Structure 1
């Protein structure tokens, strides 16, 4: 028995030592390095508030769900006021309650069988919907009451938004009425609501409520009766005026109701029924849900740079759906930034604390995201990356400007402002007609610089040919891949095979990248290049906001060089003055045909050359065989009227 105890103790001791060794090894083992993203790294530095958002996904779904709006709208349009509804609500009790409501309200709240039927219908079929609506109204009603009170409009009109939109700021009717108060496009514009590609203030709870209150006040000045104001809000003041005339001049809603549009006949009763249910919901066993977020728990911040809901959500950990509910006027889930207009982002107070405490980091992240995106209007790098071409690229990029169209602008005034042709403006911005949209960004090109860039890129190839020719070798030709190109199309364009393209460019498949340089011929530059390029200083006109430091950085030169080349003793420069920003850059080369240059040069004439057309040739492919020769040149020298060529035809080159 003792032996068994010793053996058991021995094995327990060994097991314990092995376990301790394993635990120590695990503790001492190096932990794998976890790489974090730039987003995570910037969020780690955020100053955070201890509060947490109390909004859950179910509440967000409740606020964004359109089923309440659709069902309530259908009820109002289709309900039969003459059809009795079986619901336990004594008529005498209802009359007494309506009398109490009438005493406290400027509306004419009187019992009639049609109103009783719609109240009973809502209570029987829409009790659950009103429990949800009462929860949502905890957020919106304080906004409505404040806007109505400013215009001295009855606060009961807040119930109208329930009838109009079921308190959904994204609700859109079949005829285009939008938002909590269902403004039509023209009416919204008339009452100062901004509507553009980014923003629709008809969906802004604050601004739309202010516009609705102003509308009610204006209509009351016309009709002097709040029931008729409601009717005019639904059908327009013109239809109400016609109903009054058709009723022999009577001005009580219930007396003219039969002469109003069918939808408006149910509109005011639906409003009164909604008011009744809100006032007496406890008596009917309706238990409102509680809103986990109220208006007073939010705040706004002015946005300084365009930012998307996705970026805000990633940075401060707030659901995009919640951003949409708090900021329903932003149509594309983007808060834009205009120079002449401010836009505000509404956030829960705890998230507002995080945002405002880390604004500089947030905008730094936005800038980084913008820089990573593909940029439009980029200038393709020339085939031969010489210093002179890079300098001209920088110059061309500096000359490209953008202009946002303002009210009152047209193509003529913009063209005059930048001293460019209207046709160029249309071409640069793909404009078909003569109209330009307000707010559109127009590109203004420095055309002279871009033409020079193209010419110098061509010159650099010719220059390299001269150098290589002097060493007894020949120059290959290259082609920069354009949008829409593929190997087959490029091979057909230059009358070569796809196999040759793959061999010359060491391609293992048919994939090519936009902007890549492809070798498209062997020994294609002829030995008739007769002169090296001339060099010339490049100048730059000082723009608003320029200083010597940023100009030097822009063109890759030193501050001392700029001052020396321009005989400057200080760092001061005048707006509009001309500075030399590059010395001895390539300006022109004389070849078989003159190349576009900074200054018009004397034409150079070379001996004529003959070329016999081969099968598959075109004027374009032939012109490419002779640098500097254009299709127009070939037509002129050979008296060609169209582009039809026949194999064996003799062509004069540089005739």
Structure 2
């Protein structure tokens, strides 16, 4: 028994030792974020503000409660609170001596001061904490415009010092600017940013507004009233009061909310000036404005990424950067955006800027990418299948509405008036109300095709029976075997960025009209990534001698915005030739008319027999007698 216990103890001891060695061998795998932060150069920094407290300060309950008080309070109703009237009069007089506002005692003002002291002491404790950060910003902006610094208390009434406050009518920010007013004062508003919530920029706009209103009324009490109800309502109240211009004399003729607005402002000023005397102590301050700084952002990043990198709570980032609506600092090429941080975090950011942006890029690379069309031409032999965009005709019907005309309908579906008339058997440019018009449009679809095995490259020099060959000086009449191979198969080209039909046709030795014909295109517009056929599917040349080109005039239907000069430049001809071929007396052309833009007046003779050109009449007769057979394929139509 003793031997068995000793053996068991020895086995346990050995197992513990082996297990501890295995644990020692395991290395903790660091995440990419931890590896980035591990390389940071850190200094001794003060602790961050508690995130829960920051969140509480940004809640909208204080704004909602204070806003409701101002709307519903009855300043004529007496409030039971221990504040001697004589003492209040003395304090108001002392405030009046230091202020350009008319701060005079009256029962209405006494009632609203007592109401705030009785019901809103806790609210003012929080407001005093917030004022440590916001008031220096307000005072700087107001001083620049020579506006009384007491106006800073107006932001308490407007938004309860909450830059995210939004009223029921859409007024936003510390100073409650409406959308149009914000735009009027150059406050940028887009999907990412709302500068009405930016403390600096909105304060500058508010100071500018106050200056303009004072130039109109010449009285700061009336400026406050106009800020709440608009200058028009203040002007009407002055007229209804017989021309009196003291706020307290015209108050009864102002809107109901404005009647309590200025008294609420003065009551707020009193409580901020005498909060110690009433036992109101500021709550924990979020942060002093002078202990923060800004840094320009060079790559879009979210508050979550910044929080993870710098160990700053998202709530504090929201509090310091309230103008970013989606908790994202965007990056625009032509506009700078700044991030406000505590100064010690600014030091961390600037010391590790490259590493921070590397982490942001890493996060961006991990995001799912949008669908991208695969090129129709494979670049290697690894993939056996590829996708291909092809354009096919599609028939639609449009019911003519009142006021419609063929031109508008043609523009809507990117077709020509001539085509509309041909498809619907119309002889005139007018169309009756309620008629259904047949419209054939091009529709791009993506299909999967098997790749051909990789072979030796063949120069893409496709010889076809077209106007370009008939009008050029052909060096010889013999078609090489390589040319025959190219002609026996259809060739495709994937549209690249910056391409147009003109340069594609030039690069592949074909004409624009041929590309349009082979791909059923009604105009010269092409889609990026589309696959274009650039060799005639019907061409199957079995002989080594080129046949006589078919002699046909090339026609063009005049589109909206065309003129004779543009058409001549497009088809490489002269204005005089266009006028002669189409019997035009001047440069005017009608929308939808058909013009001859190239004449087949020359043909290539067989060099073995002659090297000269015949007369036009002989060529015409040769062209008439030449016939071409075409075998109908599945899906073909006469059109």
Please indicate the TM-score interval, normalised by the length of the shorter structure. 0.5 to 0.7
- Structure 2 unmatched runs, 5+: 1-5, 390-410, 415-442, 456-485, 508-514, 521-529, 542-631
1:399 equivalent in structure 2: none
Q: 1:301 to 1:393 in 2, by over 3 A?
A: farther
Aligned counterparts of 2:388 and 2:338: Cα–Cα separation in 1: 38
Q: Quote the Cα distance in structure 1 between the aligned partners of 2:22 and 2:213.
A: 79
Aligned-partner Cα distance in 1 for 2:492–2:178: 63
Matched, 1:600 2:538: no
**2:75: which partner in 1?**
81
Tell me how far apart the structure 2 counterparts of residues 536 and 135 of structure 1 sit (CA, whole Å): 71
Larger radius of gyration, structure 1 or 2? 2
1:19 and 1:465 map into 2 onto residues whose CA distance is: 67
**Matches of 1:235 and 1:58 in 2, distance apart?**
37
Where structure 1 has 5 or more consecutive residues not aligned to the other structure, the ranges are: 1-12, 397-420, 425-449, 467-529, 544-575, 581-587, 607-630, 640-655
Judge conservation of contact 1:69–1:171 (CA < 8 Å) in 2: yes
Please give the TM-score of this superposition, normalised by the length of structure 1: 0.60
Q: CA deviation at 1:28?
A: 3.9
- 2: CA distance between counterparts of 1:578 and 1:372? 41
Structure with bigger helix share is 1
SS in 2 for 1:299: strand
How far the C-alpha of 1:128 sits from its partner, in A, is 1.0
Question: What does residue 123 of structure 2 align with?
Answer: 129
CA–CA separation in structure 2 for the residues paired with 1:465 and 1:142: 73
Q: Does 2:230 align with 1:273?
A: no
Q: Residue 330 of structure 2 is aligned with which of 327, 336, 343?
A: 336
Q: 1:103 aligns with which of 97, 100, 111?
A: 97
CA contact under 8 A between 1:87 and 1:120: conserved in structure 2?
A: yes
Whether 1:191 aligns to 2:194 is no
- SS state at 1:634 partner: coil
Task: Give the Cα–Cα distance (whole angstroms) in 1 for the partners of residues 454 and 493 of structure 2.
Answer: 23
Corresponding residue for 1:57?
51
Residue 395 (structure 1) shift = 13
- 1:121 Cα deviation (Å)? 0.3
**2:380 alignment partner, one of 374, 387, 391:** 387
Aligned ranges for residues 236-255 of structure 1 at < 5 Å?
236-255=230-249
Shift of residue 337 of structure 1? 1.0
Equivalent position of 2:155 in the other structure: 161
Would the alpha carbon gap of residues 63 and 539 (structure 1) be closer, same or farther in structure 2, given more than 3 Å must change? Answer: closer
Q: After TM superposition, give the deviation of residue 379 of structure 1 in Å.
A: 1.4
Quick check: 1:46–1:358 contact (8 Å CA) kept in 2? Answer: yes
Deviation of 1:34 after TM superposition, in Å, equals: 2.0
Tell me if structure 2 keeps the 8 A contact 1:539–1:579. no
Matched, 1:227 2:221: yes
CA shift for structure 1 position 101: 0.6
Pair 228,605 (structure 1): closer, same or farther in 2 beyond 3 Å: same
What CA distance in whole angstroms lies between the structure 2 residues aligned with 1:579 and 1:312? 53
Kindly tell me: are residues 152 and 536 of structure 1, through their superposed partners in 2, closer, same or farther at Cα, counting changes over 3 Å?
Answer: closer
Q: What SS does the aligned partner of 1:143 have?
A: helix
Distance 1:52 1:241, change over 3 A: same
Alpha-carbon contact 2:491-2:534 (below 8 Å) kept: no
Distance 1:334 1:202 in 2: 17
CA contact (8 A) 1:541 1:579 kept: no
Q: Does 1:355 align with 2:290?
A: no
| CA distance in 2 between partners of 1:578 and 1:311 (Å) | 50
Equivalent position of 1:624 in the other structure:
none
TM-score (norm 2): 0.62
RMSD: 4.3
Counterpart secondary structure, 1:284 = coil
